Amino acid sequence: MSKINVYCVFILLLNLYHPLHTMAQNREDFSKYPVYGGKDLELRYTPAFSVFKIWSPTADKATLLLYTVSSGGNSTSSYEMKKGESGTWEMKVLGNKKGLYYTFKVLINGKWSREVPDPYVKAVGVNGLRGMIVDESETNPTNWQNDKSPEFYHPTDAVIYELHVRDASISNTSGIKNKGKYIGLTEKGTVTSGGLSTGLDHIKKLGITHIHLLPVFDFFSVDESKPDSPQYNWGYDPLHYNVPEGSYATNANDGISRIKEFKSLVKTLHQNGLRVVMDVVYNHTMFAEKSTLNELVPNYYYRQATDGGFSNASACGNETASERPMMRKFMLESLEYWVKTYHIDGFRFDLMGIHDIETMNLIAEKLKKIKPSILLYGEGWLAGKSPLAEPLRAVKKNVSSLHDIAVFSDDVRDGIKGSVFENEDRGFASGKKGVEESVKFGIVASTQHPQINYAKINYSEASYATRPSQVITYCECHDNHVLWDKLKISCPEASEAQRKEMHKLALSIVLTSQGISFLHAGTEFLRTKNGVENSFNSKDSINAIDWHLKDLNKDVFLYVKALIDMRKSHPAFRLKTTASIVKNLKFVSSTNQLITYRINGLAVGDRWKKIFVAFNGSNENVKLALPAGKWKPFIFNNAVSKSAAVKDSLKSFSAAVYYQE
């Protein structure tokens, strides 16, 4: 659950008032549509000829048009395409057509569609109006063939860092030259005014394993023809699924630029030990009736409501029908393309609950064969009602039916910081009583544990994960208030120093809990969006990462870095099975805003034979009752301990981690 309605309402209004929008009404039996099994629904270029192929089973005619420019002007030639098998249309054009642009239009029921690129288009001109004919070999950076992903063995080893390309570098405090661009994140040696690393160097030093990039496919809401105009959007409004977004390229008019520069970013991240996750949005499209998908095959790719119009589980005006064979095929082939062509290491699925379980499992099966270490996760919920039956949905409660795909835990998120639906609500880390069980539920990664009272979990009545790798443990993301702003709003009486300790406590819980750790970029030095809750189209002054905050909060950065290093160094915080959690993680106390637990490190091959973790969510100092034995503190009072002397009076809003070797 996340408060995404503001953004979805924005997209819905754009659909309603955009001149291309009309309401769709359809009651067709789509099961009768032919299914094409080939993997060539795309442009195939050679210097001698180019072959164009689309799927449009209800069309009576199909036309290919070629242009010399990416927008405007008239077509230089047009070709009547030939009808092929299973609803396909094909045209082979002789000669070297590299550098030209193309569109298609189809005649259905006596009416010609609007001109569009094909859904599988891989290269486009400005604003994605037309496909571009390119030689794929010219889109590769130097030594691309030698690019390799960093080693990675198990999902719970991941520490994910959610980042927006523009946010990372657009501020003058970033020290980055190519601001807001893919290649800005490839720059090295960039520093703050205080001399601390920014951008790529910062992320590498932080120690995370995966960079999760907010949408970098071609989206609608930023006008690529105005690169010098201040524009911003998260990008959850898909236009072309298989093309990198042009506004992050140095030249959006050139179809090669965006491809080559995004590949260069992936290559650079890999060279620096960082894996790349793409945020993908197959659950809806920016436009419904006038989308590329719908122009070529009206209504097929979308679910219908009872009145025949578009159903709307995305709250953005439409929802795709992943269970229909050709939509399922499109998703599978699109994801395969990103892995094979761009060397992507993982995907985060927006509103994954809209997709059906069978499709998601087929995706996991296919991608695991290509890259066994690929990381897959998504939002296990919807934003509205769907005609797809709940038992078929890839939602949180059905995660046990998903194969190697994780879901976000909203239970621990709101248990830590308070409800995202109530701005003033507090969580465990900010002094709320009675939420200990929700936090404990997060500590064991939403699995079944005998010491948890499931009747007291905030959103779930039972465990839903069968193993910790099925859960993303987090307390903030791009949606809703960032953690620092949430604490300020919900704790107005607290001093900045107190809120700082709350912030560190919240991140301590995330990075010591089982499951897959997830951080929002900039949280490691108290990132703020000045109280803006959903900044999907806010100005850079709101969204840009202010790297000066790292100078001001260097201690927080070093603390989070230490937590990440600890997590990566100690398998006890990354247990692989529910049985191991039950056997080796025992809660000692979980009352009066104090949570303490022990982990048997020896049993899981950790050099720390015994571990004791404590979280004090109260406004009072508490006396800890450590188990018998000789303990050493690694973390004490939200700081890396500089003394081997054991102290057991834990300050308010603080974490501690003790160990025995």
Point out the residues that are catalytic: 350, 379
Q: Is 322 helix (H, G, I), strand (E, B) or coil?
A: coil
Listed in sequence order, the DSSP H helices in 233-356 are 255-271, 292-296, 325-342
Distance CA 428, CA 615 (A): 9
Q: Beta 654-660 vs 632-636: how paired, if at all?
A: antiparallel
CA-nearest of 113, 117, 119 to 100 is 117
Nearest partner of 516 among 410, 372, 430, 408, judged by Cα: 408
**Token digits for 556?**
């927080």
**How does 621-646 read in b/e, with b if 16+ C-beta sit within 10 Å?**
ebebebeeeebebbbbbbbbbeeeee
H or E element: which one contains 169?
helix 165-169
Name the pairing type of β-strands 471-473 and 406-408: parallel
DSSP letter, residue 149: P
CA atoms of 292 and 334, how far apart (whole Å): 15
CA–CA dist 487, 482 (Å, integer): 9
State the Cα angle at 430 between 428 and 432, rounded to 5°: 50
Measured CA distances, 24 to 81, 87, 110, 305, 322 (Å): 27, 22, 17, 10, 19
CA dihedral 9, 15, 17, 19 (to 10 degrees): 170
